[in-house]
Amino acid sequence: MVENPTPKLDVAKDLSREVVKGEPVRLAPGQLQLRPTRRGKPPAHLADLTLDERAEAVRDIGLPAFRAKQLSKHYFEHFTTDPDDMTDLPKGERSALVERFFPTLLTKVSQQSADQGMTQKFLWRLFDGSLVESVLMRYSNRITLCISSEAGCGMNCPFCATGQMGLTRNLSAAEILEQVRIANLLLSRGEIPGGEGRVTNIVFMGMGEPLANYRAVATTCQRLNAPAPEGFGMGARRITVSTVGLAPAVRKLIKEEIPVTLAVSLHAPDDELRNELVPINQRFDVDDILDAAWEYFEATGRRVSIEYALIRDINDQAERAELLAKRLIARGGAHWVHVNPIPLNPVKGSKWTASDPWVERTFVETLREHGISATIRDTRGSDIDGACGQLAATVVETDARREDREARVARVEEIARGIGA
């Protein structure tokens, strides 16, 4: 396979203002922000290191290497960073080891509950004041954690609350893994409704574009997949990384054999509309990302998920379902993908809404008529702004932002009306 070089993307001009200080990052419609407004690094953490690197770090402070394995077991098996829980370590060394290897990376700001407690949304403050969110969803047969990989997002998709924030900074692998560890700790202690348990599925569908923070996300996936005490020991098929379409990064996942399931946030099968809904499409178009997704299936044998937010009268026409089916089948048949149409979750200030139920059913039936597996995705946590596309932490509305959005909506609606022309 010929490796495609990564094209140089446009970077937003106005990057001086920071979301957490209350200043809006105002991206023009279609503009991308790939350079964070902050570049500070969080404190070094054990989870950033491989097992061998942990042993070396322990030796560097004059302790035997086996202490690294003990610390790793506490973190990845018992989900604790409390020195009082580490009774296998010398009492006089516990606090110093915790301070050195487990610095505080996330501080809980709030926790909201929905769906009779089965959905929990967490707002976290990072070491530099940046804010991110994660969402825990409990089902009868699984516990899924939706995690964030960036503070904010620079992809600027107009129907997504996170996309309106701009990108503050990338998270480190340890900051991402801490979202998982804390969720597991709460579950193991029975502090989440439904009794004791542990996270069974991870989806990188929180704040940020995961593949724009490639190295940290790849390291996180390796830690999630690695058996304890190096990692959490989760199966690759239970770790889903979503992307809006960074095709070169998908090919990098293939080359590096990163253990994940791939989801592509497509949202439109034609370039004209997708250019507006998913601005990165102007760099990597529908053919680019579907080709990369097909290559991923061929290399891994793992079926790819196609995520498709259904927006009333915008992208929900049966003709677009027909076009989507044809473009997927053209790669190699219908067997390699599963399409997840998602009823659009309301975003504050947007007039776009979810499609009518009968329109959703028609969209799904059209796909199925072509042999494409499709299921309307369950929507959780919309009443606490915890559903897909709603995670925002904080966004400041301004007259200029509102005018930009209204002009963009008008342009998208004009394109949508032209589907049958």
Q: Please identify every residue annotated as catalytic.
A: 133, 388
Residue 352 and residue 375: Cα distance in Å, rounded?
Answer: 22
Gyration radius of the chain over CA positions:
22
- How many CB atoms are located within 10 Å of the residue 147 CB? 29
Whether the Cβ atoms of residue 384 and residue 342 lie closer than 8 Å to each other: no
Rounded Cα–Cα distance for residues 262 and 240 (Å): 6
Please give the structure tokens belonging to residue 107: 């501080």
Amino acid letter, residue 145: L
Angle between helices 51-60 and 66-76 (to 10 degrees): 130
Q: Which residue has the tokens 């829980």?
A: 85
CB of 10 closer than 8 Å to CB of 73: no
Structure tokens at 350: 């947007």
Angle of helix 66-76 relative to helix 91-101, nearest 10 degrees, comes to 70
Spatial distance between the Cα atoms of 233 and 40, rounded to a whole number of angstroms: 30
Nearby residues of 288 by Cβ (< 8 Å), 6 or more positions away: 245, 247
Q: How far apart are the C-alpha atoms of 148 and 390, rounded to whole Å?
A: 12
Tell me the backbone φ, ψ of residue 14, rounded to 5 degrees: -90, 90
